[in-house]
Amino acid sequence: MQKYVYSMKNIPGWLVVASLLVSFPVLAPASGTPVDLRCDYAVNPLGVDSLAPRLFWNLPSSAHRQHQSAYEIIAASSQKILAHNDGDLWRSGKIISDETIQIPYAGKKLESSQPIFWKVRAWDASGKISAWSRPATWTMGVLEKSSWHAQWIGAADTNIPSLLLRKEFSVKNGLQRALINLCGLGEYELTLNGKKIGDDFLSPGWTKYDQTCLYDTRDLTKELARGKNVVSIELGNGMYQVLGGGRFTKFKGSFGSQKAIAQIRLEYADGAVEFIGTDESWRMSAGPITFNTIYGGEDYDARLVPKNWNAIYFDDSKWAKAIVVNGPGGKLRGLSAAAPPLKFFETHNFVSSHALTNGDIVFDLGQNAAHVPKISATGPAGSKIKLFPSELLDNDGAVNQGSMGAGHRGALWCEFTKATDGVETWSPKFFYVGCRYVQVHFTPATTNGALPKIKSLAGLVVQSASEPVGDFSCSNDLFNRIRRLVRWAQRSNMVSLLTDCPHREKLGWLEEDHLNGPALRYEFALDQLFTKTMNDIADSQLANGLVPTTAPEYTIFRSKTDTNHLRNDFGDSPEWSATFILVPWQQYEFSGDLNLFRTHYDAMKNYVGYLGTRADNFIVNYGLGDWYDLGPKKPGVSQLTPVALTATAFYFENVNVMAHAAALLGKTEDAKNFSELAEKIRSAFNENFYNAATHNYATGSQCANAIPLVFGICENSNRAAVVESIVQDVRAHNTANTAGDVGYRYVLRALADGGRSDVIFDINNQTNKPGYGMQLAKGKTSLTEAWDGGSSQNHFMLGQIQEWFYHDLAGIQSGGNGFKKIIIAPQPVGDVTCAKASYHSIRGKITSDWKRDGNNFILKTTIPPNTTAEIFIPAKSAGNVKKSSAATFLRMENNCAVFATGAGDYRFEAN
C-alpha cells in the first residue's frame, strides 16, 4: 500500500452562489476566524441530497503555529436567525477538536429544498476564541420520491435529434424564492423568458441512466417576473442515445427517447408554495438540430428555429402536447452523485489558415484541446457550412481524422445552414470534440448558387469546473513544457467523468483514474468528480462482483470464446477495475474522506471476492497488463511484463487496502481476514515471480520490478537490489523507459522512493527517445496515446510525471490524514537549479520554493494553519543550515537535516 498521500483545496468560489446570500455583509475576517466554508466540498451548493452533509473550513494563514483547539458550528433556517447568532437547526456547542474537514451536520432533520445558513468559530491553542466566520449556505435537493411534483415527459420517437419543450405559467405577488429541479436527457439547455439559465454545458452529467439520473438545482428567484413567465427546455442526445446516421460512433445504444422531468418551486411571503411541474400540459416540438450524436457531430438548420419559441406569448397552439413517459429507470440524484458542471474556460481563435484546391479552408487553432467550434458567417440563406475537425493534417494540408477513429476524413463533422442573408453566429449545443484543426467546406444556396463565407472561426475550450489547485515551474524549460503538454490532456478529458480521449472514445477507462489520481489531484480539485466516478462504477458492477473496465459501462466488451466469463480482457482487467478501491483510498489519504468506503464497502468486498474466483493459488492471470509498453511489437497488450504479475499485484493491493479500510471503519473481523489474505497473496507472488539470483521479478522489466516495490510486496532486504535492477535496465536501454500505461507510474515511484530521481531526470530530460520530449520535438501540443507521439493526439493516460514534479522535484508530500502532517522533501536533481510549486491542500495552501547555487541550497516554504511539517534540507549536518527560529532540528536522514515546524512561512539555507 502506498504510504504517501495527497490533498487539495476544493473551493470553487466562482460557482453559483445561492441568491439568498446576496445581502450578507462582506467584511474582512478577524484574525483566526475560519474562512473558505464549504458543504460537501462545494461553496454554497444547491441540490445537496446527502442526509448529513459534511462541512469544511480553513483557518487564515496569519500567524506562526496557528492551531485550532476547538470549534462551534451554528446552522439556522434563515439568514435573519443566523445573524443573531442563533442556530434553530443546529448548535454544536464547543467541540474540543482540531479538525476542520469532514464534519457531519448533526442538527434537526432536513427537508427537500430547505435552505440552511451556517457559520463557525474556532478557539486557538491558547483558548482565545475567534469571531464568527462569514455566513455560508447550502440548499437541499429533492430528498424523497414523493417530493417530486412532476412527471417524465417527452416524445415517443427515438429518432428526434432535438426536442423543444415549453410551459407558460404565472407568478403571483410576494414571491420570496424560486427553485427549479431539472433532469433533461440526454442533455439539456434551460431558458427562462428567453434567457439561458446557467453557463454550464452538456448538463446533466453522463451516467448509467437505468441506475442513476442526475438532476440540477438552480435558483430562479431573480429571473422571474410577476405575472406571465415561460420556461423552455431544449434536449439533445449525449451519451444517453448514441445513434449512427452514417457518422463515426464508438458504439450505438439508447436508453430511450429524449425526455425531461422538472419542477419549479415558488415560495411566497404568505407561506404558500406552488409547483410548476412537467406534465401533459407542456408543449413540444422538434428542434432546429437535424442531427446530433456525441461522437459524430451536430447539424443545425437555422431556418427551422421557431421564432421566439422560448419567449412569452409565443403561439404554441400548433405544437403537440407533451407525452407523459416512463423514466429510464435510474434514481434521481443531486449533488451527492454529481461532478462539477462543464464550462467554457477560454477561446482559441485560429492562428493561421490555408486554402485547399477544392475551395475548402483549413483553420489552425494552435492547440489540441476539447473544443466546441464556433463560427460567424455571411452568405445567402440556405447556404451551408460544414466543419471537419481533426488533430492531424495530411501532406496536402487537408484534415486527417484517422487518430480520432473517424477514418482518413469525412466521418465526423458539424453542419450549419444559414437562415438569412446576414451575419449569423453558431456553435453546437450538444457536441464537443478534441481537435486542433477545422476544415471548412462550403455548399451554395439552391436559390442563386452563392457560397457562404467565414467571418470568424474559433474553438471554445470546454472542461469540468473542478478548480485548479496547483502550480509548478522550474529552471528546466523542457519540464515546464512537459507539464503544459500533460495538463492540456488532463483538461481535455475532465468532463463529468475522466475520459481517455475527447474524440474517438470519450469513455471512462478506469485505470487512468487511479494511476493518474495523484498527478491529477496536484493540479485540480477532484473530490466531487471522483465521488461521481465511484457511483458510476457501482452502477456498472455486475451481480457476480465483476467491475468492468469502463464506467459508466455504455459498450460491453463481451467474451466470445470463454463462455465462463462475461467480459473479455478489454471489459474485465484487474489493473483497470482496481480504481474502485484505490481511488477511494487516495481520497481518504488526501482529504480524510472515508465516505466512499462507507458507501461502497459491500460492493468493493464483492469485487475482491470476484477476483478470488479468478485466482489459482492466489495468482490472477488475465487482463491487459502493462498496456502500451515499449516492446518490439506495435503497442497494445503488455509485451515485456507477464499479465499474471500485474494482475496478481493489483489483487494484493486491493485486498491490502481493504484491510486498512475495514480497520478504519471498525470492521475488525474483515480487517483480520483481508490482512491474512493479503499475506497469502504476497507470499505466492514472491514465490512465483521473484528470482533471488538476479534480484528481478519475472522478466526483469522496469514495470515488473517497480510494482512490487511500490506495493510493498518486495521483502525489505531485497528492495535496494531490485531498485538497482530497474536502474540497470534503464541504462541497458540507453537511458530509456520501457513501461507503459500501468507500469510507468510505478517506475517513477520506485525510483523516487528509492532515492534515484536522478534516473527519472535522465529518462525525461531528452527528446530523441519515445517519451514526453519526443512528443514536444514532433510539435505535439497535448499528450499523445503512444510514447512516440502516435495514435490519439490527446490522451492523458501517460501523464503521471506531474506527480513527480510536485511530490518529488518540488517535494510537497503528505504525512497522513489529508495533509494534517506535511512533508517538504525536495529532490534537487540534474541541471535543475530551482523549482517552485504551490498546492492548495484541503487544509490550505502549501508552497515549496527552492534554488541552489553551487554548494548553497535555499528553501522557502509555507505551511498552512492547523498543520505540522517535517522539512528535509540537503546538508552534511544541521550545523550547516541557517533556519527560521521556529523550526526545530529532529534528525539526519538520507543526507538531509530534518526540521519540525508548525504553520507559517520558513526559510532555510544550507551550504
How many angstroms separate the CA atoms of 701 and 721, rounded? 14
Average pLDDT for residues 755-767, to the nearest whole number?
98
Please report the beta strands in 327-423, taking only residues with DSSP state E, as ranges in sequence order. Answer: 331-333, 342-349, 352-355, 361-378, 384-390, 392-393, 399-400, 414-417
pLDDT at residue 31 greater than cutoff 90: no
* The pLDDT of residue 752: 98
Do 184 and 240 meet the contact criterion of CB atoms below 8 Å apart? Answer: no
How many angstroms separate the CA atoms of 694 and 539, rounded? 45
Q: Calculate Rg over the CA atoms of the chain.
A: 28
Give the least confident one: 151-160, 173-182, 187-196, 680-689. Answer: 151-160
How many angstroms separate the CA atoms of 168 and 191, rounded? 12
285-319 pLDDT, tens digit per residue, is 999 999 999 999 999 999 999 999 999 989 999 99
Mean pLDDT score across all residues of the chain:
94
Per-residue CA distances from 298 to 198, 330, 361, 385, 493 (Å):
22, 27, 20, 12, 20
pLDDT at residue 561 greater than cutoff 80: no
Per-residue CA distances from 641 to 647, 742, 910 (Å):
11, 11, 43
Going by pLDDT thresholds of 50, 70 and 90, the confidence category of residue 63 is low
3-state secondary structure 330-349: CEEECHHHCCCCEEEEEEEE
**H or E element that contains 47:** strand 46-48
pLDDT at residue 117 greater than cutoff 60: yes
**H or E element that contains 457:** strand 453-464
3-state secondary structure 506-555: CCCECHHHHHCHHHHHHHECCHHHHHHHHHHHHHHCCCCCCCCCECCCCC
How many angstroms separate the CA atoms of 161 and 584, rounded? 38
* The pLDDT of residue 565: 85
Q: Which of 300, 302, 428 is nearest to 373 (CA)?
A: 428
Average pLDDT for residues 181-203, to the nearest whole number?
97
Do 365 and 350 meet the contact criterion of CB atoms below 8 Å apart? Answer: yes
Do 485 and 775 meet the contact criterion of CB atoms below 8 Å apart? Answer: yes
Going by pLDDT thresholds of 50, 70 and 90, the confidence category of residue 794 is very high
* The pLDDT of residue 406: 87
Q: What's the N-to-C CA distance of the chain in angstroms?
A: 36
Cell numbers standing for residue 460: 471554445
310-355 pLDDT, tens digit per residue, is 999 899 999 999 999 999 999 999 999 999 999 999 999 999 999 9
pLDDT at residue 784 greater than cutoff 50: yes
* The pLDDT of residue 14: 31
pLDDT at residue 28 greater than cutoff 50: no
Q: What percent of the chain has pLDDT over 70?
A: 96
pLDDT at residue 21 greater than cutoff 50: no
497-530 pLDDT, tens digit per residue, is 999 999 999 999 999 999 999 999 999 999 999 9
Higher pLDDT, 69 or 16: 69
Phi, psi of 881 (to 5 degrees): -115, 125
Instruction: Count Cβ atoms below 10 Å from residue 839 Cβ, excluding itself.
Output: 27
Average pLDDT for residues 217-232, to the nearest whole number?
97
Cell numbers standing for residue 213: 439520473
* 313 burial level (CB within 10 Å; 0-12, 13-18, 19+): exposed
364-397 pLDDT, tens digit per residue, is 999 999 999 999 999 999 999 999 999 999 999 9
* The pLDDT of residue 30: 54
CA 344-349-350 angle, to 5 degrees, is 140
* The pLDDT of residue 410: 74
Average pLDDT for residues 627-647, to the nearest whole number?
97
pLDDT at residue 563 greater than cutoff 80: no
CB contact burial 347-370 (16+ within 10 A = b; e otherwise):
ebebeeeeeeeeebbbbebebbbb
Please name every residue paired with 189 in a beta bridge, in sequence order, or none if there are none: 234
Going by pLDDT thresholds of 50, 70 and 90, the confidence category of residue 449 is confident
Instruction: Count Cβ atoms below 10 Å from residue 778 Cβ, excluding itself.
Output: 12
Average pLDDT for residues 234-242, to the nearest whole number?
97
* The pLDDT of residue 8: 32
pLDDT at residue 241 greater than cutoff 90: yes
Q: How many helices (H) does the chain have, and how many strands (E)?
A: 16, 53
Q: What percent of the chain has pLDDT over 90?
A: 92
* The pLDDT of residue 62: 60
pLDDT at residue 468 greater than cutoff 90: yes
* The pLDDT of residue 7: 33
Q: Which of 4, 8, 6, 56 is nearest to 841 (CA)?
A: 8
Q: Which of 843, 803, 844 is nearest to 827 (CA)?
A: 803
Average pLDDT for residues 141-150, to the nearest whole number?
97
Cell numbers standing for residue 451: 457560397
Phi, psi of 231 (to 5 degrees): -110, 135
Cell numbers standing for residue 880: 550547516
* The pLDDT of residue 236: 97
Do 127 and 142 meet the contact criterion of CB atoms below 8 Å apart? Answer: no
Do 246 and 229 meet the contact criterion of CB atoms below 8 Å apart? Answer: no
Cell numbers standing for residue 463: 472542461
Binning the chain into helix, strand and coil, the percentages to the nearest 5 are: 25, 30, 45
pLDDT at residue 408 greater than cutoff 80: no
How many angstroms separate the CA atoms of 240 and 554, rounded? 9
Grid cell 459501462 in the structure block, residue: 553
How many angstroms separate the CA atoms of 2 and 712, rounded? 8
Cell numbers standing for residue 433: 470534440
**Dihedral over alpha carbons 371, 376, 377, 381 (to 10 degrees):** 100
How many angstroms separate the CA atoms of 90 and 73, rounded? 8
pTM here? 0.95
* The pLDDT of residue 66: 82
Cell numbers standing for residue 39: 458543504
* The pLDDT of residue 3: 38
Average pLDDT for residues 872-895, to the nearest whole number?
95
How many angstroms separate the CA atoms of 225 and 872, rounded? 62
Report which residue type is found at 578: A
